[in-house]
Structure 1
Amino acid sequence: MLTLNRRPRRPVAVLAALATTAGLLAAVQISAPAPAAAKPGDVVVAEDFSAGTLPAGWRAIDGEWTVRDGRLRGTATSGTKKITFGRHLTDFRFSATVRFESVAEATRWTALGLDVPADGRTPWWIATMRSGTTAANGLEFAQLTTANAWNVTNTGSAPYAAGTGRDMLVAVEVHGNQARWFLDGRQLLRTTSLTRSTDGGQALIVNGGSVSFDDVLVTELPPNGYLRPAGAPMTIIAHRGASAAAPENTLVAQEIARRSGADFVENDVQPSRDGVPFVLHDATVDRTTDGSGAIRTLTAAQLKALDAGSWFAPQYAGARLPTLAEQLADLRTRGGNLLLEIKGAHTRDEVARIVEVIRAEKMTTRVFVQSFEVDALRFTRELAPELPTGLLRSGLDADPVAMARELGVTAYNPTGTALLARPSVIADLHAAGVAVMAWTVDSPAQWQQLERIGTDGIITNRPAELAGWNAAGQLGAAVPTVSIAAPADGVELDRAQRPVLTVPATDADTVTVTLDGAAVPVGKPLDLTGLAAGAHRLRAVASGPKGTATAEATFTVAVTPAGLGHLVLTSGAADQALTVLTNHLVKGRYAQLARYAERHAGRFLPEAKARVIAADARTLATR
C-alpha cells in the first residue's frame, strides 16, 4: 500500500473552534436585509475520523466506505457510490481535504453532495472534481435527475491536476440556488442553477476509483451571501443584459448574458399606463423601440406591439419589450438571478405590484432590488422584507455606512469612479455587513483597480469579457517567466539590421530590459549603428506578485561592407562628405575612408557616427 507523509492531526474540537471563528467572520462579511442582524451559524459537521470508525449518523448507501489511517476512504470500482450525513441547510459552507488514491482513468471523479436525501434517492445536486482537474470539465455542478440522467449546469477547470496521492482542499459555499466552488482556497466555478429540496443533506460521492477524505466540515452561514468571500472573483452583473452585444432590456440580451457567465442580470422596471411592470430603462420608448411616448402613457398592449430590437441591429428585429413577469419566468426556467432596478419615482402601490409579480413567479430568493429612489427601497423593505435591497448612488454619501444602516440595505452601489476616488469606504461598508457593487464599468483597467480595493460585484455592459478576465485572474499569479525571443541568443547582426526587441513574459507586472547595462524599450527596433563592433549583452527582468525572473542573451555586431554602407548613408553627413565617403566605400578604399571620417569628425559628419564609421572601416582594411 502506498504510504504518504501526513500533516499533523486536527482534532474535532479544534475544527469546531475554527468553524466558529469562520462563522464569526462570516457574520462580518455576509450581508442580510438588515446587516446588523447577521448571526454566525452552527457547526453542523466537524469530523477528522480520529475515532477510527464511521461517525454516528453517517449512512453508507452503496460502495465500500471504511476509516483507515485517520481518513475516510470510499471505493467505487464501477458506478457512483455515496455516503450521506448532515442535515438540510439553505446557507452553508462544506469543506474537506480530498485525495484520489487510485482511479480507473483521469475522467473519474469525486464530489461533495450539496442536497442529497439521507436515503440517496434522486434528485440530488453535487459539486464534482475529476482527478484530471485541468480538463474543461474538471470541475462541475450537476444534478442527478429522477430519470437517473445527469443535468450538468456548469463546468470549469483548475490550473493544476489533482492526480493521485495529492491532498486537495475543496470547499463549496451554498446560498439557496447559488453556490461557489473553491479549490485550495480559490474560487474556480460558480452556479446560480441549484434547485433545492426540503430535506436533502450532505454527502460524499466516489465514481470509478478510491478516494480518501479528511477534515470534513459543514458550517451554517447567514443568508444572502453577496459579499465576496476570500478567494472569489467579483460578481458579474450584466447591465441591462448583455447590452454591448444585444438590444438592452430584452430577453435575448438576458440569454446572451446568461451564456456569457453573468451571475446576475441587471434590468430596469417601470409600469405601463394600466399598471403592468415592464422592463425598460428610459422614461420613454423612443430610443430603444420603433414607437414614441412615455412608458407611463402607453398600455401594456401598446408596449407589447413595439419592436425593441431593430434599433440595435437588423437580426434582432421583432424583439419585444418583456414584462417583469416574462423576464422572471425566463430566469426561473432557464437559470439566473435578477438585480432589479426600480426606475424613477414609484408609489407604494406600484412597488406592491412589483413585489406581487416577484412572488407570483416564485423568484423571491433570486431577485435583488436596487434603486436611486429611497422611498422605493423603503416600500420594498416594508412590503417584502425577504428581498435584499441595494442603494444606487452616482456619488458617495458623506457617511455611506450610516445611510446603508438607515435604509437596512444589503448593498451600497455607487459608480466605479466614485469608489476609486474614495476606496476606504469599502472596508467601512464591509465591516457593517454591507456589500458594494460598482456601476457601470467596462474597462479591464478599472476592473483590476476595483478588484484590488475589495469591490464585491461589477455592473457591466460586457459580461463575457469580465467573465474571461475573472477566469484568468482565478488561475492565479504564478512565478513570473521571461525570455528574450529576439534578437536570438548568439545571433550575428550587421549594422543595417534593426531587430525588434521581443521579450515574452508571463505573470509579470513589470518587465525591464537593459542593453550593456542601459535601459532599452521592449517592442522597439534596436539601433545597431551606435554600438561598438563585437558582443553585446541583453538582460531582461520580469517582476510579479510571486517574485522575479531573469533572462539573458548575447548578440554580436559584425563588421561588413553592407553594414558600413548603412552607417555612412544614415550618418547625417554633409553632402560633400557623403560623396567622398561613398566613393571610398564603393572602391574598397577602407583605410582612406577611415582617415577621412576621423579628420572631418564634428565638421562634415557627427562625431559619434564618425568614430564608428572609422572603426569599422579600419577593421575591413585589415581583412
Structure 2
Amino acid sequence: MLQLGEQITLYSVVFVVVLLGTRSAVWSTVLTVSLYMFLAMFRFPQVPASRVQQVLHPAGAGSKVSVVAHRGGGHDAPENTIASIREASKNGATGVELDLEFSADGVPILMHDDTVDRTTDQSGPLSQMSFSELSKLDAAAKHRLREKFAGEKIPTLEEAVEECMKLKLTIYFDVKGHPDEAAAALKKLYKKHPVLYNSSIVCSFEPKVIYRMRQSDPDVVTALTHRPWSLSHFGDGAPRFSSLWKHHWMTLMDVVLEFGHHHVLWKLCGISAFLIQKNSVSLDYVQHWAQRGVEVVAWTVNTKVEKDFYQEVLQVNYITDSLVEDCEPHY
C-alpha cells in the first residue's frame, strides 16, 4: 500500500501540474480524481510475499543475497546460450537473467538485440529471420572465448528453461518488447511447468509488458527494470540522438518515466521487485522500496568491491556479467 504521506504527495503533485497547465481548478480536480479512480480500479495486487521470497531467495542458495548471471553470464560464456546457463551454474550463480525475443516465424528465443550482428557470425534483423535460419548461426562467433564455445547455438526459450530447471536455477525473464506475444508465450510456459511460479520472475523496462503479463497470469512474480535517463542516453552515457530537440524531448520523457516508475506504475502493475542500475542504489533507496513490499535488485555489478558492498552492506540481490572475475559491463 502507498503510505498516506506518499499518496497525498502524489496526488498533490498531479493536481499542481495540471493546474499550472490548464489554469483550471475544476479540470485539475477532475483529472486528479480520475487518476485515483484509475489506480483503484485497474491496479493489480502484489503476489504474496511468501512466494516472492521463494523466487528471490530460494532455499539452499546458501546466502540471503542471490547472485544472478546477466544474460547467463555474458563475460564467462556466449550470452543467452545453453553454455552460459551451464557455466553460470558451475560458477555458483543462484539464477540467470535471460532475454526473450522472437524469430520472424514467432518462435520464442534467447537474444538481447533485435539483430544478430553483435553476437553471431551473420547479420540481419530478427524480424526477417526464421528460427530455422537462426539455428544455423554460431552464437559464440564474437565472444572472447569463441574457440572454447565454437558452434554454440541460439536456444529456444523452452530449451533454456528446461536447462535452468534441471540445474535448479532461478530465472529472470527479461522481456525486450512484444507485450502480447511475450505474455502468451510465458503463460503457456508457466502452465506447462508450474514450478516456474516459485522459481522465476518476469522483468521489463516497458511497463506495458509487465501489465500485460499480470493480465495474462496474475500469479506470476514480476518486476520493473529501470535506468535513469535510459530514453535519452545509452548505457555508457552517450546521447542516443544527434538531434538536439529530440535529445531534450527524450530527456523530458525520462523525467516523466522516472516519476511514473517510482510513484504510479509500480503500484498499477503490482510488482514484487524493482531492477535498478547499480549507481542508483543506496541503503535509503532499498528501505524506500522495502516499505512498499518491493525488493531491489541491482545491475550490473561487476567488480569484487561492488559485490562485497551489495553482499555485506546493502544485502540485496545483484546481477553480474561474471561470476569469476572483474569485468566491464555489457550494455
TM-score of the two chains, using structure 2 as the length reference: 0.69
Distance (whole Å) between structure 2 residues aligned to residue 174 and residue 365 of structure 1: 6
Pairwise CA distance, 1:176: 11
Match of 2:92 among 261, 264, 269: 261
User: What is residue 26 of structure 2 aligned with on the other side?
Assistant: none
Match of 1:178 among 53, 58, 64: 58
User: What is residue 353 of structure 1 aligned with on the other side?
Assistant: 185
Match of 2:258 among 397, 415, 421: 397
Distance (whole Å) between structure 1 residues aligned to residue 68 and residue 59 of structure 2: 16
Unaligned runs of at least 5 residues, structure 1: 1-32, 42-90, 92-172, 181-188, 191-231, 467-623
* Cα deviation digits, residues 254-294 of structure 1 (max 9, x gap): 00101111111001001111111110011100111112111
Point out the structure with the larger helix share.
Answer: 2
* Cα deviation digits, residues 68-103 of structure 1 (max 9, x gap): xxxxxxxxxxxxxxxxxxxxxxx7xxxxxxxxxxxx
Which one-letter code corresponds to 2:87 in the other structure?
Answer: I
User: What is residue 197 of structure 1 aligned with on the other side?
Assistant: none
* Cα deviation digits, residues 493-539 of structure 1 (max 9, x gap): xxxxxxxxxxxxxxxxxxxxxxxxxxxxxxxxxxxxxxxxxxxxxxx
Pairwise CA distance, 1:406: 2.3
**Against the structure 1 CA distance between its residues 451 and 174, is the aligned structure 2 distance closer, same or farther, given a 3 Å change threshold?**
closer
Distance (whole Å) between structure 2 residues aligned to residue 339 and residue 255 of structure 1: 15
Distance (whole Å) between structure 2 residues aligned to residue 358 and residue 281 of structure 1: 22
User: What is residue 24 of structure 2 aligned with on the other side?
Assistant: none
User: What is residue 416 of structure 1 aligned with on the other side?
Assistant: 278
Contact 1:436 1:455 in 2 (8 A): no
Pairwise CA distance, 1:364: 3.3
Q: Secondary structure of 2:197's match?
A: coil
**Against the structure 1 CA distance between its residues 309 and 346, is the aligned structure 2 distance closer, same or farther, given a 3 Å change threshold?**
same
Contact 2:175 2:182 in 1 (8 A): no
User: What is residue 456 of structure 1 aligned with on the other side?
Assistant: 316
Match of 1:335 among 168, 172, 176: 168
Q: Secondary structure of 2:171's match?
A: strand
Which one-letter code corresponds to 1:260 in the other structure?
Answer: N
1:304 corresponds to 2:135:
yes
Supply the RMSD in Å over aligned alpha carbons. Answer: 2.7
Which one-letter code corresponds to 1:354 in the other structure?
Answer: L
Distance (whole Å) between structure 2 residues aligned to residue 425 and residue 397 of structure 1: 14
Alignment of 1:112-261 (within 5 A): 178-180=58-60, 190=62, 232-261=63-92
- Percent identity among equivalent residues? 26
Q: Larger RCO: Structure 1 or Structure 2 (Cα < 8 Å, ≥ 6 residues apart)?
A: 2
Distance (whole Å) between structure 2 residues aligned to residue 176 and residue 460 of structure 1: 15
Distance (whole Å) between structure 2 residues aligned to residue 458 and residue 288 of structure 1: 24
**Against the structure 1 CA distance between its residues 311 and 174, is the aligned structure 2 distance closer, same or farther, given a 3 Å change threshold?**
closer
Alignment of 1:35-54 (within 5 A): 35=46, 38=48
Contact 2:76 2:84 in 1 (8 A): yes
Contact 1:409 1:434 in 2 (8 A): yes
Distance (whole Å) between structure 1 residues aligned to residue 313 and residue 134 of structure 2: 42
Distance (whole Å) between structure 1 residues aligned to residue 317 and residue 56 of structure 2: 19
**Against the structure 1 CA distance between its residues 391 and 295, is the aligned structure 2 distance closer, same or farther, given a 3 Å change threshold?**
same
Point out the structure with the larger strand share.
Answer: 1
Q: Secondary structure of 1:438's match?
A: strand
**Against the structure 1 CA distance between its residues 320 and 338, is the aligned structure 2 distance closer, same or farther, given a 3 Å change threshold?**
same
Pairwise CA distance, 1:346: 1.0
Contact 2:81 2:153 in 1 (8 A): yes
Distance (whole Å) between structure 2 residues aligned to residue 243 and residue 331 of structure 1: 16
**Against the structure 1 CA distance between its residues 176 and 416, is the aligned structure 2 distance closer, same or farther, given a 3 Å change threshold?**
closer
Distance (whole Å) between structure 2 residues aligned to residue 449 and residue 358 of structure 1: 34
**Against the structure 1 CA distance between its residues 38 and 308, is the aligned structure 2 distance closer, same or farther, given a 3 Å change threshold?**
closer
Which one-letter code corresponds to 2:59 in the other structure?
Answer: A
Pairwise CA distance, 1:432: 1.0
Match of 1:425 among 285, 289, 297: 285
**Against the structure 1 CA distance between its residues 426 and 402, is the aligned structure 2 distance closer, same or farther, given a 3 Å change threshold?**
farther
Match of 1:34 among 21, 45, 54: 45
1:434 corresponds to 2:294:
yes
Distance (whole Å) between structure 1 residues aligned to residue 309 and residue 166 of structure 2: 36
**Against the structure 1 CA distance between its residues 311 and 382, is the aligned structure 2 distance closer, same or farther, given a 3 Å change threshold?**
same
User: What is residue 156 of structure 2 aligned with on the other side?
Assistant: 323
